[in-house]
Amino acid sequence: MQKKAYIWDLSIRIFHWVFALGYAVSMLIATTIDDDGALFDYHALIGFMLLGVVFLRVLYGFIGTKHARFLYFNFSLRDLGAYLFPFATDTKKSFPGHNPASSYGTILMLVLVGLIGITGILAGEDIDFAEDLHEFFAFTMLGLVVVHILGVIVYSLRHRENLSQSMVDGYKNIDEDKEATQSKGYIPAAIFVICTLFWTLGLTFGYDSRERSVEIPFISIEISLKD
Ligand code: HEM
């Protein structure tokens, strides 16, 4: 028997949509705007904003609510096989939080955005191989995002449940004997929003459009945004 239960707390949901929107806008600017144009700098500024957001999400992976914690992710290869090829196995496991595919996918996306950021900074410092790697990681991420969205669609059709709705209201269908998230996560969500706003404001004030550089908040290191 299945019931609707609270799974994704507010911080996770806000993180998700800030992360998704930030990546989409940054990627759109990078692929459509000429890199000599002033608007191109915003692709790097949004990238820096995302690095801060990823840092907070990683932290939340250790101290956050139940299904936000990495400890509750499922990295079992046997479960991954059974999840991806349900017709080849007779097990019918259900996963209240991240399923095995989205457990690996989430970690990969967080790592990739970190790598995109680091190689982007090195590319700005004229390190030769960094620009190629930066593009490689950015397009690998794009591939992963396409797979992620297809995964959400396939899951929704297979389980007759609109999974994307769970990233809006936090509720998902789970087996009755599985545990839901107890806390709504309003306080961590408020902290997350305030930290993200401060970080974004810091980057905005640290941005020098004439020099095409940004001074990173708190550590006062100046980074070139030129290609
Ligand atoms: C219309 C577009 C999208 C929809 C409907 C959607 C939906 C979802 C859903 C339902 C989950 C939970 C998966 C699960 O049950 O384990 C999820 C997780 C996630 N999605 Fe998306 N997603 C979308 C776009 C994106 C994009 C563009 C990105 C990245 C750029 C992204 C990154 C993530 C990440 C990192 C998680 C894990 C969240 C966490 O644990 O913090 N999503 N998404």
- Quote the ligand 1 centre to 222 CA distance (angstroms): 32
Task: Note the pTM of the prediction, 2 decimals.
Answer: 0.93
- Quote the ligand 1 centre to 29 CA distance (angstroms): 21
User: Taking a C-beta distance cutoff of 8 angstroms, is the pair 193, 14 a contact?
Assistant: yes
> In terms of pLDDT, which residue wins out, 107 or 39?
107
Q: 29-81: per-residue pLDDT in tens?
A: 999 998 888 889 999 999 999 999 999 999 999 999 999 999 999 999 999 99
Residues 6+ apart with CB under 8 A from 163: 152, 155, 156, 172
- Residue spans of alpha helices (H) in the chain: 10-32, 41-63, 77-84, 100-124, 128-158, 163-169, 186-206
Q: 133-151: per-residue pLDDT in tens?
A: 999 999 999 999 999 999 9
Three-class secondary structure of residue 14 per DSSP: helix
Q: Residue 162 is encoded by which pair of tokens?
A: 């609109």
Confidence of residue 92 (pLDDT cuts 50, 70, 90): low
User: Which residues line ligand 1 at a C-beta cut-off of 6 Å?
Assistant: 12, 15-16, 19-20, 23-24, 57, 98-99, 102, 106, 109, 145, 148-149, 152, 163-164, 166-167
Domains of the chain by start residue, with CATH: 2-200 (1.20.950)
Residue 92: CB atoms within 10 Å:
7
Residue 175: CB atoms within 10 Å:
13
